[in-house]
Structure 1
Amino acid sequence: MKLASIACAAVAVAVATPASAAVYTFNTSVGAGSATGSITTDDTIGVLSGANITAFNILINDGADSFTVTNNNGSVLIGGNALTATSTGLSFDFSAQGANYALFQNPFPGSSVNYFCLQTVGCYFPAEAGIGIRLQGELLNSSLSGNVQFAQAAAAAVPEPATWAMMLIGFGGIGASMRRRKQVAAVNFA
């Protein structure tokens, strides 16, 4: 009976606890175009690497055409230590020394098409610090300096109804097993 109670509690906690993730959203002008979207991390605070990015969905627009780069049709490549996360946003240090970049590109890094890039040096030419987008061969970029927060943390997700239902079933199982245990303990053979 005790094992059943522990199992019910474990299921309730496991189902009610979402996987740890942080979603950051942004909407920024880049030359005559723009980049709008979201970047999801594994909830790491501090310097990020490519392994910390779990998903991304970035609409790049050059003023005439647009394309959405996602983790399903592209890749992310991060070099250096200029990309950092806090609980409130993502920042990039455009004044960092050396090759620092965060490249989100379709179909793969180095293909020279359809990308969103933050760089000190490393993603696009001219080799100046800033944000660049490339759409079907046309490059638009904006020069930046300093440590700039370019994305804000999105509101925390609310658990789905199925999650709440599983949690309630788990707590109900715990309550039922505890009630049964009290009834068995109350029987007295004198």
Structure 2
Amino acid sequence: MKRFTLMLLAVFIISISFMRPFAKELVRRAVGLLFLVSLAAEASAITYLVDRDFGIDGKVVGYITTDGTIGTLASANIVDWNLYTEDGVSVLSQRGPLNATNEGLDPANWGVLVRGAALTATATELSFDFGSVGNDLVIFQVAPLGNATDYYCLAANADGTCLNPASESIDINGPSAPHPSLSHTGLVSIGVIDSGPCTDTDGDGFCDDEDVCPRDNPNDTDGDGVCDSDDPCPLDNPDDANADGVCDTTAPVDDCSSLEPGRLRGLCNAYCEATNCDGEHKASDRACNRLMGRYLVASDGEMPPCAVDAEP
């Protein structure tokens, strides 16, 4: 659109010298309006949160950012990503060019390939059509692309690039590693935009309906499985080691203490705590994965201190 507009602008500039004064003014105004319309039509980037659960075998969580194109997407429309991947044994982080550059890493270490027309976007959702009859696929992979290892892949049909047809699959460390895979039919949502604010009483990044301790941030400072607001000694585990009726008040361990106080530190505390809680107070995998996605967006792709991160 922009290139076409610039071509028209060049033609008008050449032609305008042959026009009468009043016609020149009309053309100038028309060209200016056309140029403004073209700028307004330029899409703004859209970030979709990814939360793909492969059960006990693995997961993919993070985000994919497009240039804002609505409809069918190609490789060039994917401008950035940060995908934290687990296969049940190993972990892998894949980063797009913007995220890698921000982290001081070489963007050439990772790539993305979109083939066919199965990947589509709306203003709120990123989807892949696993029912496509062609060899359509999307693959995020440690370079070089097509090396048959270290990838997150969405494939419509088997062509040797990814594990199975009509499935999304994970590979970390090659053929000898586990290969979590999910079979699909038809159009499947892969990512959605952040749905926006919800009721979050304690401000820890978990909506109240997903928060194991909706009144507390952090939820369980001493890690004893009891929410701070219900814990008689929220800084002690055990609460009263010498049974003298007085809390021991030991100092809590804070994995996120290196972060500045604020939203990022709150998200970090919530994620690190939720993944370490035990018993009935352990957060659901879906809640943890959703929080990881929010943390990655807020931190420009940097992992929480308590998360294991593997770089190629």
Q: TM-score, normalised by structure 1?
A: 0.68
Compute the displacement of 1:30 (Å).
2.8
Match of 1:51, SS state, is helix
CA distance in 1, matches of 2:82, 2:137: 18
Post-superposition Cα deviations, 1:82-139, rounded to whole Å, max 9, x if no partner, equal 000001110001111110100000022112221111110243133x201011011132
> Are the equivalent residues in 2 in contact too, given 1:69–1:114 (CA < 8 A)?
no
Matched, 1:47 2:72: yes
Matched, 1:36 2:61: yes
Matched residues, percent identical?
36
In structure 1, the residue matched to 2:162 is 124
CA distance in 2, matches of 1:146, 1:49: 19
CA distance in 1, matches of 2:49, 2:87: 19
Residues 90-129 of structure 1: pairs in structure 2 closer than 5 A: 90-121=126-157, 122=159, 123-126=161-164, 128-129=165-166
> Are the equivalent residues in 2 in contact too, given 1:30–1:131 (CA < 8 A)?
no
- What code does the residue aligned with 1:124 have? C
Matched, 1:80 2:116: yes
CA distance in 2, matches of 1:102, 1:36: 16
Match of 1:28, SS state, is strand
Compute the displacement of 1:154 (Å).
3.1
Match of 1:25, SS state, is strand
- What code does the residue aligned with 2:50 have? F
> Is there any run of 5+ residues in structure 1 with no aligned partner, and where?
1-18, 157-190
Compute the displacement of 1:155 (Å).
6.1
In structure 1, the residue matched to 2:8 is none
More strand, by proportion:
1
Match of 2:93 among 40, 64, 68: 68
TM-align CA RMSD? 1.7
> Is there any run of 5+ residues in structure 2 with no aligned partner, and where?
1-42, 97-106, 197-312
Higher-RCO chain (CA-CA 8 Å, sequence separation at least 6) = 1
Q: TM-score, normalised by structure 2?
A: 0.42
